[in-house]
Structure 1
Amino acid sequence: MDPQPVPVAGVVRTAAAALAQGGVESAQAEARLICAHVAGVEASRLMLADGLDRAAVAEIERLVAARTGEGIPLQYLLGTAPSGRLDLAVGPGVFIPRPETELLVEWVLARLPAPGGGVRPVVVDLCAGSGTIALEIAHARPDAEVHAVELHEPALQWLRRNAATRADAGDTPIVIHHGDATDPELLSDLRGEVMAVVSNPPYIPVTDQLPEEVLGHEPATALFGGADGLVVAVPLVDLAATLLVPGGHLAVEHDDTTGAEVAAVVGRQGRFGTVEQHTDLAGRPRFVTATTCDVDQTAQEGTHR
């Protein structure tokens, strides 16, 4: 006779207790997500699911142990991370999308010309990682021509996987480039044709003070932007200036300690007549935006913070 199914509520309680004991702050929420993942149901419907068999309980215990004992990020364990309107595949070698980036995406989408106007907007995502920005824009604007640039091979594999998944789901395919966002010759065939350049580059000033699950698992190449956090941002801004049309838009995410410095970098570049700083939902400085104009207009308008 097969063993009786184990009630879901009890499994969730046990998982949450183990996660809390292991130092996980959102233990209850993570327990529900892990159990729903193993059960193959949405988290909102978990408690309506039938009881779990012994194999499922063992898999939940394995994931909880990996989360608490090895500090593996929850998103890596589940294999996906929410990204605005999408869920993207993530795992070792790629930066995990954060909710703050959605604000940057929405800012850019609001500034693209309305669909149906006869203009196909060209958008470039530099340091694309898993594809969160590029694929969000392609999903929301099927009329856009979206290019995604990524340098590091492990992240590039996740980008290609997510791009293929979204294309299979019916989104307009994006164009993927294996390249360096600090290379001034990158995408030279698009110079002066791009309506928006967007980026969530490596921007954290080098530190060992990040949570262990970040330092120990997410790639340093996606986290750190040198001692001042600007090693990638400075040449990236120069590249963006060569790609953008007059009146084109730049949006760059940054560390919450470097907003003024990034705004100054953009202002000094010379092609941007309007530079603004934006905060995230917690009120912390999070991204800088700018609009290109000709040199004379830039000199007249200056930098607005």
Structure 2
Amino acid sequence: MNRQPLRLAILEATRILERAGVASPRTDAELIAAHVLGVERGRLPLVPLVDPTVIDAIGQFVTQRAKRVPLQHLIGWAAMGDITVDVGAGVFVPRPETELLLEWGLKLIDGRKFPVVVDLCTGSGVLALAVAHARPDAVVYAVDIDSNALAWARHNAEARIAAGDTAIRLYSGDIADGSMFAELDGLVDLVLCNPPYVPEGTPVPPEVSDHDPAHAVFAPEGGLAVIRYAIDAAARLLRRGGGLAIEHDDTHGTAVPELVRARRVLTDVQDHPDLTGRPRFVTALRG
């Protein structure tokens, strides 16, 4: 069997994905190759030649990715912080830009012993689980209204426990309910939220429109409806000096900070850009 250069296979995969309109063709090609080979992406240069069966397997994955099936659905996982979680049909795929929101939250609670953290609209559970991994002493609550998302979150939570992480406290609930987590009012150090926030009717890539649950992507009131509930929840849950971080649409760089400032108990309101420089998440402290 004639072995073939992996480098050429990745170049061809990149060309195919680029023609298909994939946003990060080289990255996706390398991640597919790494998945097929069972190695970390950074170790691909150490694999100069591969068997034709590997080339064929890479080609099959690339064909599906070129049809705009999300990469994370193909490889079965998404990363956040120092962990990965399983994802697939029925749950929102975590995005790299949310890493910045996570970093802000972890920095805020650095040095606080046994911090209480609440993750609203938890989806796959990725933010809550990333916090629990980084801070084993934290008491982490997570909530979502969708049963499919909660099934994924429960699966991922069990996997993290098996890997040695502390358990999170996972709940089914609606963040519009003013009594949700009432026993935590004034006791929470950090509230994180990556809610549905895309304004209804906004064109989105096929990976989103065809595969992410619509209710996890779009929100009424110009994309602000769920964000309003998250702000209300944070205002009552946070203790003095506690912090809030909410991800938002790139068209919300003015609107969401204004909504947060309207709650007088929330101070030091700041908006932050994502990896491409677009407005992406707002933070505030409980005064």
Both structures adopt the same fold (TM-score exceeding 0.5): yes
Give the 5 Å matches for 1:75-94: 75-94=72-91
Q: C-alpha displacement at 1:163, in angstroms?
A: 1.6
Give the 5 Å matches for 1:1-305: 3-49=1-47, 51-68=49-66, 70-112=67-109, 114-115=111-112, 119-293=113-287
Alpha carbons of structure 1 residues 249 and 218: separation in structure 2 relative to 1, 3 Å: same
Identity of aligned residues (%): 46
Alpha carbons of structure 1 residues 260 and 41: separation in structure 2 relative to 1, 3 Å: same
Q: Deviations over 1:53-83 (max 9, x none)?
A: 4544333222111111x31011111111221
Alpha carbons of structure 1 residues 18 and 99: separation in structure 2 relative to 1, 3 Å: closer
Name structure 1 gaps, 5 residues minimum: 294-305
Q: TM-score, normalised by structure 2?
A: 0.91
Alpha carbons of structure 1 residues 21 and 263: separation in structure 2 relative to 1, 3 Å: closer
Q: Deviations over 1:230-255 (max 9, x none)?
A: 11011221122221222321111111
Count of paired positions: 287
Alpha carbons of structure 1 residues 113 and 19: separation in structure 2 relative to 1, 3 Å: closer
Q: TM-score, normalised by structure 1?
A: 0.86
The root-mean-square deviation of aligned C-alpha atoms, in Å, is 2.1
Task: Confirm or deny: 8 A CA contact 2:7 2:48 kept in the other structure.
Answer: no
Q: Deviations over 1:103-130 (max 9, x none)?
A: 2222222222515xxx421000001112
Q: C-alpha displacement at 1:259, in angstroms?
A: 2.5
Distance 1:113 1:56 in 2: 44
Alpha carbons of structure 1 residues 127 and 50: separation in structure 2 relative to 1, 3 Å: same
Alpha carbons of structure 1 residues 103 and 273: separation in structure 2 relative to 1, 3 Å: same
3-state SS in 2 of match to 1:232? helix
3-state SS in 1 of match to 2:164? coil
Distance 1:278 1:252 in 2: 10
Task: Confirm or deny: 8 A CA contact 1:148 1:175 kept in the other structure.
Answer: yes
Task: Confirm or deny: 8 A CA contact 1:39 1:52 kept in the other structure.
Answer: no
Alpha carbons of structure 1 residues 50 and 199: separation in structure 2 relative to 1, 3 Å: same
The amino acid that maps onto 1:260 is T
Distance 1:145 1:160 in 2: 16
Alpha carbons of structure 1 residues 52 and 153: separation in structure 2 relative to 1, 3 Å: farther
3-state SS in 1 of match to 2:282? strand
Task: Confirm or deny: 8 A CA contact 1:113 1:121 kept in the other structure.
Answer: no
Distance 1:113 1:63 in 2: 41
Name structure 2 gaps, 5 residues minimum: none
